[in-house]
Amino acid sequence: MRTVLAMTTNPSRAGRREWTALGVLMLPLLLVSMDVSVLYFAIPAISADLEPSGTQQLWIFDVYGFVLAGLLMTMGSVGDRIGRRRLLLAGAVAFGAASLVAAYADSAETLIAARAVLGIGGATLMPSTLALVRTMFTDPAQRAKAIALWSGVMTAGVALGSVLSGVLVEYFWWGSVFLVNLPAMALLLVLGPFLLPESKDPAPGRFDWPSVPLSMAAVLPVVYGLKEIPSEGWNVRYVVSVTVGLLFAALFVHRQRTAASPMISPALFRGRGFAPAVALNLVSAFGMMGSAFFTTQYLQSVLGKSAMEAALWALLPSVPIGFAAPVAASLVQRGVHRAHVVAAGFAVAACGYGLLSLAGTDSLWLVLAACGVLASGIVMVMSQLMDLALGTVPVERAGSASSLMETGTEFGGALGMAVLGSVGTAVYRHGVPDSAPAAAHETLGGALAVADRLPGRAGDALATAAREAFTQGMQGAAVTGAVVLAGAAVLAATVLRRARVHEQAATTNAGQADRLSPSGV
């Protein structure tokens, strides 16, 4: 064994070992992000086999994301205390075991429980992977490249998940969408102990157990309410859910400010650039997920593509993602101020929404181009904000910092779907003829179902009107998204100019140098 000691006062350049280890870390990250969307095409087969109730079907789909979001901050803090590699490997065991149980589940209850454990495993894997990137890549330029790759893989995983599920369900049975996790987790468990260094906070203090339920009570009601508002409207119970979550969030913040050993140290926000990075990252997730609410429905319900065709077409906008983050990192390394790169990313994403606002009811290539431009801009932003946030904190707090960024991503995505989804729904309902049945005013899918039951021209007229109304709603949401992201571009150019990060100074001000546990391999 060898002892690894990394000091930000004299950062060493990563070699082949570290870059190979990064490749290993990409496996769990890809699978965790894919599991968000991997059930898109498997749900019909699961419903036919397990016959879940409507409520059970919703839990099968949503419990993974809820548990993941609720435990991110807890697991980030746990990793800082017990070691990120140890937590990562434990999470891989849980993720693999839960995948096996889910694949062969013989009841809806078993599948829901397995998906919940998958969420627990995912919550351990995501912040651990990013914290280990911070540990292995102490050279700022190399770390920027590594985080750019991390951001691209995470974003691409969501798109790949739906396509993979469609292919597997087409040729195998629905349980195969979970079995694909096993080889990757096995490889991580075999190679991880040899390639990944162990790192943790050498003086973490006592774990603050009351913060665990407070953090979950803050995150889960807000995410739940925001996810339901786009489809159900501003129902009182969803507004109450969000309000309750915000109240618990205030209690959680108070606990962190007053506890002797908080789960999330307030000192993180004293690093120049960390708070702006968290806030702007939330806005970037707002833009990314807000568009997804419309584009998937547009491909299927407006253009009439099958689910599989829609998923394959949706892969095209993912192609430029692989180039966006490295380009952003290269610009910063060549001397372009990070504030300008992030502002440019937001501006590019705003242009993507601008293109989307021009779409008609038969604009496949325009919509795909808009999604590609939007996604490229967002990935530029996210990769730079992740690098900025991690560069401001000492390595012993990298897990907590990573979990905060990822929790902000969850909040931003849910908020984007709620706000832009509500704008689009309001425009849609205004555009549907008053004479149409009530079901047609709720959703485009409901309108098309009603149109199928109407005779001749009446059905065709309703379907055409509903598609036009939905497209107008998408245009309205796109204009709103463009305004928000354009505002974020101006904000980023302003606040990030004052957040020039020097890792040596940040660590010195924190009173600690980056260090790794002597138990590292």
pLDDT in tens, 453-491: 777 777 788 888 888 888 998 899 999 999 999 999 999
Structure tokens belonging to residue 487: 């505002």
Low-confidence ranges of the chain (pLDDT < 50): 1-9, 501-521
pLDDT confidence of residue 56 = 74
Sequence length of the chain is 521
pLDDT confidence of residue 231 = 63
pLDDT confidence of residue 230 = 65
pLDDT confidence of residue 478 = 92
pLDDT confidence of residue 512 = 42
Structure tokens belonging to residue 74: 């807890």
Task: Please check whether residue 299 is in contact with residue 313, taking contact to mean a CB–CB distance below 8 angstroms.
Answer: yes
Task: Please check whether residue 385 is in contact with residue 277, taking contact to mean a CB–CB distance below 8 angstroms.
Answer: yes
Residues 6+ apart with CB under 8 A from 414: 222, 223, 226, 227, 289
Nearest to 128 by CA among 5, 25, 211, 261: 25
Query: How many CA atoms within 13 Å lie on the side-chain side of 452?
Result: 8
Nearest to 349 by CA among 323, 313, 327, 324: 324
What percent of the chain clears pLDDT 70, i.e. is strictly above it? 87
pLDDT confidence of residue 349 = 93
